[in-house]
Structure 1
């Protein structure tokens, strides 16, 4: 079609519609990339409205389109302009970040490193808005995309806000993730609430959705902290856009944004997320601050080291029990070679091993054990139990 000169600029809407139709097909469908490349190469493609072309390009990249279609997409002037403009766009708050359309972020979502590299080579830049798009979607398995994105760039958070500019506190990915978790939990709770209309045969609301949401969020928080992001204190923070807005010398959201911080529930619901973000080093003094599975593993290691260093023939004696007078009981069981090997390590080295093993937190799979969100689901479950019993109470008057 392109070589024959057909489908000039007046056919731009039709070409956009054809590309839109391709989005309904799976990325691995045979011939899909070739078809996308063909439509993107016709002259009319350059006449597609810029915002619509950006949307189509993002969707194609999210589906993992690369190969023949990607050079054709990146060759369009409107796409290159969108890549350059994204780097200078203002920082979004967490609500806008969830709707953020970026060719760079979309290429990371698609999970193809070669596609992301091509987009960056064409003028794209990894921005905080791109990072926060992943942070606010804690309910999606977006860890692979965030890892890929951060491997190509870690944009800094503007701590010292320039005079006259507004930077939302949720521009920090740590706070964006905490805020996004609360929003996503409301969606999960709404879905669980629908079970109230299902009758006695409907399964009771479960905290499985909450625990899965928490596990996804913790993996994302680990990745952000691994990249160097931490909870920050803003300097010269302008509260809002109003002409009489105050400029605060310092602004620390956990204490200076109390309404939002109360939703985060850092002491209970988001406890593990907050500890993953703070990256407090492990030590014997902070041992209790780490997940139960890690604490158990650390105690086992230290116990093996202690027993392996015990003199041969010395056994702990159980209180209230008299030793059996047998040759087998009298002979102490020698420590294993592994225990002896661990015992030979200096205590400082063992503690260093534990400090390194403490993070990431997500592999230790800590669960939410208390807090507002867990109480929400328990109250919902109790409400459903009561509703299932009420009909018998109403009609059993005899």
Structure 2
């Protein structure tokens, strides 16, 4: 059982530092029932979580199954600075009200995956505000500027003459100090967080707390394009609070190659089960689309339930296989003729009239299932079904 637990913990990881310590913690749990702590930090700089975030949450769930008590750290203090990781310029400072609202949204969403009874939610403002000026100065003496500038993104910004604020230098120290206060046994994060994660080990040594956390890093999940990391700003994400039919359709849109990456990092199926599915696809006994449908059903069920997942599949099949219209389109009514681009925006299926123009030029817009090319089209009296791409539909009634 211990070996199987370690295989599940190692699954899909990019790098593990001090695997021996993790083995000892898991072994002690199975032999003596002793639990251990696993820290994962989230700065609530945005309101919603997407599948990229759930890669870490899935790994935390695995630890919960094998003796881990999760320290879900909400970085309400560090969010006021902003993690400089991967940034070419200083982030804008968020106000406290926004941070707290985002933090609540995070908590509402993570327990779709994590077991709340095995999770401790902590806010780092609890100890970082109490640290005070003297404590902050003492913290800065534990690391020097030369080593801080070895960090890749800082080095690039320094050499190119871009500004680096002192607060950004302090950020990794604050994240590391969280591990001192929490006395974490393990910390997990994305590969882009390596510098910050190792800072936790460094500071646990510096403050002589009697342990050094092991570090487990997960790869960054690619978005729907299969190239860039999943990100709201790149519009290649799947939000876990999106409508079931949208989550389902987006999963179906990923490439066959990317599907296996999603299986490994997001599915709760065992590695053996996934290997069997992959083998069946390679032999031709299972169509890759069916494998993708099964993954989509699993994920929608996780964030909603089996009934809504089945309904999402049925809706998708109606629209894409039978060429039928969806049953729950947005509807708007206008009293007089309306410009097509404005109608698309008002119906909620285009973000702006400029984007609507571009999509019309690219042949991505249909009116009553017929492609249109005239971006100046005016809709007169009648009812119209508007469509953008394969998934966005709306009904417009013009009086």
Greater per-residue strand proportion: 2
TM over 0.5: no
User: What TM-score comes out, normalization by structure 2 length?
Assistant: 0.26
Say which one has the larger Rg. 1
Structure with more of its chain in helix, by fraction: 1
